[in-house]
Structure 1
């Protein structure tokens, strides 16, 4: 069998460690062998080339090998890490798979229900003999959007990368564009990945210490959880050389706290969407929230304060949704509002749908959170808008305090409001503060608002 270039390249890394999982470590030679095992397993269960396959499960040695076997086989792969039955059902309805695979249970079942007509974009992939990748939106505001990528084109962006012995935490989820990007980057350079059985601050920090991890891709929410749990005092994280962060805006005060704790670590803001893939970026500095897109296979422009992107790795289209977020000439309207400095660096201010409108004035939640986090008694917070008959909305926030203040809690919250009033315009200051035990977050480590 003639293997695709990515897989063929593993031979040069044969004895290097590819993956540290909770049980053991695996080399690239073992990965190559397991891909062969998975190809035989697929053939034995009648999974034809270019069939649409729905994969349940997060990163594991077997799961990664299976993903690569499906890629080699030219399959269209729909990835899912969610466990909610209704969400899985909605995703499968959108992907219209011919087979469903449970990675952990090592089970394949053929879909016996009547197949819906094949989407023309799937047909186009098959005509080109290309593998495909289906990613889904989070589905928090309705049925998830199913986005179809040309997987061969996506993998092709990693061709001819220089070999580098980097130890990278595979933190983001298997069905997240950031997780796929991290995996393909590791595979293309012969790096070493580490995965965790659970993503708690202590577990992640202990693995960084144990495996001398150099790169941690994560989210601002998780980095703040690491601060709250004081892992920087408990574990030896001196191996870290870079932390990349994205998926949500980083509060500036949080970035500065992290820099104080990790002065030798480079902080790089990343940016990407499921629709466009991950865009190569460079930060103005590790202390700055300004970044710019590096020259390459993407382009951008700002339209009425909103970031628009067009890239070589963007989706072929949605399988179950209109393309109204794309222009006719291929620009994707990200929904992210940005500020541009004199040198052309961009700062992500927030999502347009999350803007709090106070009497016609725009308030960005990340700006409010950044100020609140500067107060010594605030460990975490989540700013949001509440309806108001006079101004349309007012600013409110959930606050996690550094201690249980009992009957004095109201006094502490008043002090936090006075503190915020000294640092922000009056319309940005939270009218209502609510003390909560913890801020809730999603499996992708984005903050959630749950009252």
Structure 2
């Protein structure tokens, strides 16, 4: 069998460690062997090449090998890490798969949901002999958007990568564009990936220490959880050379705290969307929230304060939704509001749908959270808007207080509000503060919106 260039390239890394999981380490030679095993398993189960496959499960050695086997066979792969039955049903209805594969149970079943005619874009991929990737918008209610990528084109973006001995934590989920980007980067350079059975701050920190991990791609929410759980004091993280963060705005005060704890680590803000793929960025500095998109296979512009992107790796289209977020000439309206400095660097202010409108004034939750996190008694927080008959909305926030504060909760919250008044315009100061045990976040470690 003639393997695709990505898989064929594993031969040059044969004896290098590809993956550390909680129980074993696997070389690239073992990965190549496992891909052949998965190809034989697919053939034994009469799965035709190029069939649409709904694949459930997060990163694992067998799961990655199966993904690559499906890629080799030109399959259209719909990835899913959700466990909620209603969410899975909605995703399957959108993807219209022919087979469903569960990585953990190693089950492969014909899908009774495959009743609709084949999508024209999927038909076009098959004509070209290209594999496809279906990603879904996040959310557990309603019908998610199903986005179709040309997987061969995504993989092709990594074809010019030079080999590098990097140890990278595979933190983001399998069905997240950032997780796929991290995996393809590791595979193309012959790097080493590490995965965790559970993504708690302590578990992740101990694996960084054990495997001498150099790169941690994660979210601001998880980095703050690492601070709260004091893992920088209990674990040796001196191997870390870079932390990349994205998926949500980074509060500036949190970035400065992290820089203070990890002065030798480079912090790089990343950016991407499921629709456009991950865009190559460079931060102004490790303690700055300004970043620049590097020239290459993408372009951007700012229209009325909103970031628009166009890239070589963007989706072919939605399988179940209109393309109204794209212009006729291919620009994707990200919904992210940005500020541009004199040198052309961008700062992400927040999502347009999350802006709090106080009497016509825009308030960005990340700005409020950054100020609140500077208070010594605030461990975590989430700012949001509440309806108000006079001003439209007012600012409110949930606060996680430090466990050893001495005064009453009401006294501490009053002090936090006074603290905020000294640092922000009056309309940005939270009118209502609520003490909570913890801020709720998703499986992608993004703070959940508060209704």
Taking structure 1 as the reference length, the TM-score comes to 0.99
When structure 1 is superposed on structure 2, of 18-27 and 131-140 the one drifting more is 131-140
- Provide the aligned C-alpha RMSD in A: 1.0
Structure 1 2/383 Cα, relative in aligned 2: closer, same or farther at 3 Å? same
Structure 1 141/115 Cα, relative in aligned 2: closer, same or farther at 3 Å? closer
CA displacement 1:219-244 (0-9 Å, x = unmatched): 00000000000000000000000000
CA displacement 1:285-330 (0-9 Å, x = unmatched): 0000000000000000000000000000000000000000000000
| Contact 2:377–2:405 (Cα < 8 Å) also in 1 | no
| Contact 1:139–1:145 (Cα < 8 Å) also in 2 | no
Structure 1 141/190 Cα, relative in aligned 2: closer, same or farther at 3 Å? same
Q: Distance between the aligned counterparts of 1:135 and 1:442, measured in 2?
A: 17
Deviation of 1:255 after TM superposition, in Å, equals 0.1
SS in 1 for 2:407: helix
Deviation of 1:351 after TM superposition, in Å, equals 0.1
Q: Distance between the aligned counterparts of 2:353 and 2:140, measured in 1?
A: 13
Structure 1 287/407 Cα, relative in aligned 2: closer, same or farther at 3 Å? closer
| Contact 1:243–1:267 (Cα < 8 Å) also in 2 | yes
Q: Distance between the aligned counterparts of 1:205 and 1:405, measured in 2?
A: 27
How many corresponding residue pairs?
A: 451
Deviation of 1:141 after TM superposition, in Å, equals 5.9
Q: Distance between the aligned counterparts of 1:220 and 1:313, measured in 2?
A: 26
Deviation of 1:114 after TM superposition, in Å, equals 5.3
Runs of 4+ aligned structure 1 residues displaced above 4 Å come to: 404-407
Return 5+ residue gaps in structure 2 as ranges. none
Q: Distance between the aligned counterparts of 1:164 and 1:404, measured in 2?
A: 46
| Contact 2:290–2:345 (Cα < 8 Å) also in 1 | yes
Q: Distance between the aligned counterparts of 1:57 and 1:174, measured in 2?
A: 8
When structure 1 is superposed on structure 2, of 211-220 and 401-410 the one drifting more is 401-410
CA displacement 1:266-287 (0-9 Å, x = unmatched): 0000000000000000000000
Deviation of 1:403 after TM superposition, in Å, equals 1.6
Deviation of 1:181 after TM superposition, in Å, equals 0.1
| Contact 2:250–2:366 (Cα < 8 Å) also in 1 | yes
CA displacement 1:246-273 (0-9 Å, x = unmatched): 0000000000000000000000000000
Deviation of 1:46 after TM superposition, in Å, equals 1.0
Structure 1 339/154 Cα, relative in aligned 2: closer, same or farther at 3 Å? same
Taking structure 2 as the reference length, the TM-score comes to 0.99
Corresponding residue of 1:444: 444
SS in 2 for 1:407: coil
| Contact 2:96–2:114 (Cα < 8 Å) also in 1 | no
CA displacement 1:314-355 (0-9 Å, x = unmatched): 000000000000000000000000000000000000000000
Instruction: Find out whether 1:64 has 2:64 as its counterpart.
Output: yes
When structure 1 is superposed on structure 2, of 311-320 and 136-145 the one drifting more is 136-145
Deviation of 1:97 after TM superposition, in Å, equals 0.3
CA displacement 1:107-165 (0-9 Å, x = unmatched): 10012355210110000100101000000000356311000000000000000211000
When structure 1 is superposed on structure 2, of 7-16 and 109-118 the one drifting more is 109-118
Structure 1 291/141 Cα, relative in aligned 2: closer, same or farther at 3 Å? farther
CA displacement 1:172-200 (0-9 Å, x = unmatched): 00000000000000000000000000000
When structure 1 is superposed on structure 2, of 399-408 and 83-92 the one drifting more is 399-408
Q: Distance between the aligned counterparts of 1:252 and 1:314, measured in 2?
A: 30
Q: Distance between the aligned counterparts of 1:140 and 1:96, measured in 2?
A: 18
